[in-house]
Amino acid sequence: MGDEKEVHEYAGDKEITMMFWLPNDTFEETADFVKKNAAEWNAEEQTDFEFVITLDGRIIGGCDCDLGHSEDRSYATLGWIINKAYRNRGYASEAASALLDFAFENLGIDKVYAQCDINNPASFQVMRKIGMTCINDKGTRTYPRTGITSGEYTCLITRKEWAEGKKG
């Protein structure tokens, strides 16, 4: 709590968040989003682990590790978003790598997925950089706020692949 203004800097950017389900219309929506996710950390059966990405004490983005798509909590999905002013500097890759470590070291899962719009080559590159493999390049997604349908990449990394990458 207390980070709403910095979170809204990226969560309120319609150019970025048209690809997400983040609050992007009002500051109040962002404040509710932050409040909801702060409360989730205390939930007995937490499924969505939201983190902020900081640089020199300033929030420059967010990322999450979500078990909510897996009914048996056997896998997680990752996501990240970086304020436009801080892109192309490796921050998303660093955050995504830390999410993988968190997922495999803390959640007892064996697989992690990530997805991105085919028109978002930077996110696809992050997935490849952290050791993920594209397992589907024919998916589609429809954005609820705009109704736009686009192609989607789905990438995967297993616990074994992650552990081998940590060794090498």
Structural domains of the chain in order of their starting residue, each with its CATH number = 4-167 (3.40.630.30)
| Percentage of the chain modeled with pLDDT above 70 | 89
pTM as predicted: 0.84
* SS3 at position 144: coil
What integer best gives the mean pLDDT of the chain? Answer: 86
pLDDT at 136: 97
For 80-121, write each residue's pLDDT tens digit: 988 888 999 999 999 999 999 999 999 989 999 999 999 889
Single-letter amino acid code for the residue at 10:
Y
What percent of the chain is helix, strand and coil (3-state, nearest 5)?
Answer: 40, 30, 30
Which of the 8 DSSP states describes residue 44? T
Strand order through the sheet with 48-55: 48-55, 58-66, 75-82, 111-117, 149-158, 133-142
